[in-house]
Amino acid sequence: MDIRKLQRTIVDALIDLKGKDIVVYNTEKLSDQFARVVIASGTSNRHTVALAENVKEMVKKAGGEVVSMEGRETGEWVLVDCGAAIVHVMQPQIRDYYNLEELWGAKRVNMKIDPEYALPSRSLRAKAAAAAAAGSNAEE
């Protein structure tokens, strides 16, 4: 399966079940094992497992291969190995702690993802953090 079709199938599967903060990174120059890393957040353990299961089903339905799936037991961090793409579906606190964006985030793939589901760019996150800090200082 073409990598663009695979990443679109994965993102659509995540959006289908309301995955949050979805981001896709091009890892072709970082690893010869896979070309994309997709990271998304779920709102609960059941939600992360459901998101990962939906990715698995949709990729298979589209004719892609799912090599393995790990982490279903706890649902805090579920990894779906789709061959050319690795999908990490994580609880927000686990995602913040491991900060995979720092590891894999050198080259973000420019995809159309509804802003409701997409991870904001670094500049938008920085502006939001600055606004939040300014707001908390104004209350003091």
From the list 109, 97, 10, 23, the residue with the least C-alpha distance to 51 is 10
| Per-residue pLDDT, 124 | 46
* Coil vs helix vs strand at 77: strand
Total domain count, the chain: 1
pLDDT digits (tens, 9 = 90+) for 69-96: 999 999 999 999 999 999 999 999 999 9
Strand arrangement, sheet containing 77-81:
20-26, 36-41, 85-90, 77-81, 68-70
Place of tokens 């990894």: 79
Q: Which residues of the chain have pLDDT under 70?
A: 121-140
Q: Which domain holds residue 37?
A: 3-139
Q: What is the CATH number of the domain that holds 120?
A: 3.30.460.10
Rg (CA), the chain: 16
CB hemisphere CA count around 34 (13 angstroms): 19
**pLDDT computed for residue 127 by the predictor:** 47
Paired residues of 79 in beta bridges: 70, 88
Q: Give CA–CA dist 18/117, Å, rounded.
A: 7
The rounded percent of the chain whose pLDDT value lies above 70 is: 86
